[in-house]
Structure 1
């Protein structure tokens, strides 16, 4: 790999002169600058973006940190849509997107501020952070800008982007009640996820609004995993055959639940109605097509990138941005 030392040797100038010429400083004469650029092109020199950023004290990158990636995660396409939206926005303003990953265990070894400084990032979009993660409390107090996906949090340099999960869950559960279901179970995600808490509150509120008792034995947690939802649904429907409807806090868990219903030789929509959440691409191709709550992760990624750049540039930004959602009625819900 060609370095600025190689260019300096061939041009007969100092390394400092080459560095300043390549970074377009005005104290290098036009003729010397042209000579250095010509030699750099001839030798196939590729500039080190990180080193340039350190010299200029600027960074034309927007970072996204993903926490708790699962093996099944690629199936729902959510991360890809988030990244696509963020990339689209970054490209429109001549920025790049840099992806980092972390986990709860790694967060105990290194603080959020240390992570950002180590990677020379001025702030980040964070997805998958749980309310009991080591980073969460630190984010609230940190001076480093952060945009949280699906967590509504207050902090001095924090923005959050989400749909109204509470309202969307009321609407989903109400749709089941409208179809005469009263024994409605909920397959929720992770206990420690803020979004799981909001979706449970919406489910419970809809039941209370219709004088339907909340039965804790009807509520299970499957960590947003298809296989776990399958196993838990088998157990749930075997122990409580009176259940006629399932509200699933993600489409991937709904897919696991549908497999369980088929395994038990029950009919979806006739015997058991199912609603999902997210409107992943697979949902409309399930058998039958899945009724679900639609949220646009592409737009969420775009808005996250936009908010982060505003924060980095010390511009006004929205503390809590609530995006639109929609209940898509398909064929997995039937009248009881």
Structure 2
């Protein structure tokens, strides 16, 4: 655990830069009356030059809280907004905020320009904190928000060495349990369809797949791995690639339920029976998993609990802005149905 960086500009530094008193800066920050326009402009210029962000706790005490939280989606591919994950997590976070009196504002941030625009929007006091979803490994937005002292919590993480608060599921453990189940039921030619490998969640599920096979003394040759993007169509295409390489496949772990649904389509199209010829396991346990034919065995990640934990961490940071960043990892569960 670590503390936030202490080197952000202070109210006193803004006052010194603008050549005014601390109280004048406070009145400008809080948009109070009684400040000459020339003085207001000088303070605003000093704030911009120094990158000063008003202390959120002080604004709260002054009745300046926005009572709004930004749900920031950084996914650049619009197709993925049709996937069940996004509706499930929005519902989960909305339910968790329902009794707080705070609004959940959905914001898309997919480029450097949009990152800068959102940072300025947040610095303007329009939101009290941010919940980040679908963050890629190289995304700098979480660091920008943390340095701006805006309470921020991510769903998932960018790497194993994350310095921003996050809530995550045990993705590697979930994948291990799925592959262990396949091995225990007699499968040995086990392939996997991953998510986008520039996302830590996909890397973790792939790592769990490899760990389970290695523990059983089986090969983890790269030809048994096909990258997808969590969509159904990517699952279908990846399954076709895997079957072309290894017609002897007898099981597949898909990185999401929608990916697994695509794999089921391709297996049916090639005349393979599930689970008799090829067993299939998904990941997430969305309602979709009950609607596939056959019903999908899958790894459940507790999205409702994830949403509650994200909101809890964010509210704690709002109450105590100097609080250290925290990491919460929740357990997954293998849900056995008909496909494996």
Query: Following the alignment from structure 2 to structure 1, what is the Cα–Cα distance between the partners of residues 325 and 264?
Result: 39
* Structure-1 residue corresponding to 2:294: 288
Structure 1 position 223, deviation (Å):
1.1
**SS of structure 1 residue aligned to 2:165:** strand
Task: Tell me the residue number matched to 1:218.
Answer: 224
Partner of 1:131: 137
- CA deviation vs aligned residue, 1:194-224 (integer Å, no higher than 9, x gap): 1011111111100110000111011111111
Q: Tell me what 2:281 maps to.
A: 275
Q: CA-atom RMSD, angstroms?
A: 2.6
Correspondence for 1:175: 181
Distance 1:78 1:119 in 2: 29
The equivalent residue for 1:15 is: none
Query: Paired residue for 2:9?
Result: none
Which has the greater radius of gyration? 1
CA distance in 1 between counterparts of 2:244 and 2:86 reads: 34
CA deviation after TM superposition for structure 1 residue 140, in Å = 6.2
Tell me, yes or no, if the aligned pair for 1:291 and 1:328 is still in contact at 8 Å. Answer: yes
Q: Provide, for residues 98-125 of structure 1, a one-character-per-residue CA deviation record: whole Å limited to 9, x for no partner.
A: 1111114645x62763352257223200
**Greater Cα offset, 65-74 or 134-143:** 134-143
Name structure 1 gaps, 5 residues minimum: 1-24, 26-52
Structure 1 partner of 2:205: 199
TM-score (norm 2): 0.75
CA 1:280–1:217 in 2, change beyond 3 Å: closer, same or farther?
same
User: Which of the numbers 107, 113, 117 marks the counterpart of 1:100?
Assistant: 107
Q: How far apart are the structure 2 equivalents of 1:63 and 1:246?
A: 37
Aligned counterparts, 1:1-336, within 5 A: 56-68=63-75, 70-104=77-111, 106=113, 110=116, 113-117=119-123, 120-136=126-142, 138=144, 141-151=147-157, 158-314=164-320, 319-333=326-340
Tell me, yes or no, if the aligned pair for 1:62 and 1:308 is still in contact at 8 Å: no
Change (3 A) 1:137 1:216: farther
Aligned length: 280
CA contact (8 A) 2:123 2:148 kept: no
The aligned counterpart of 1:17 is none
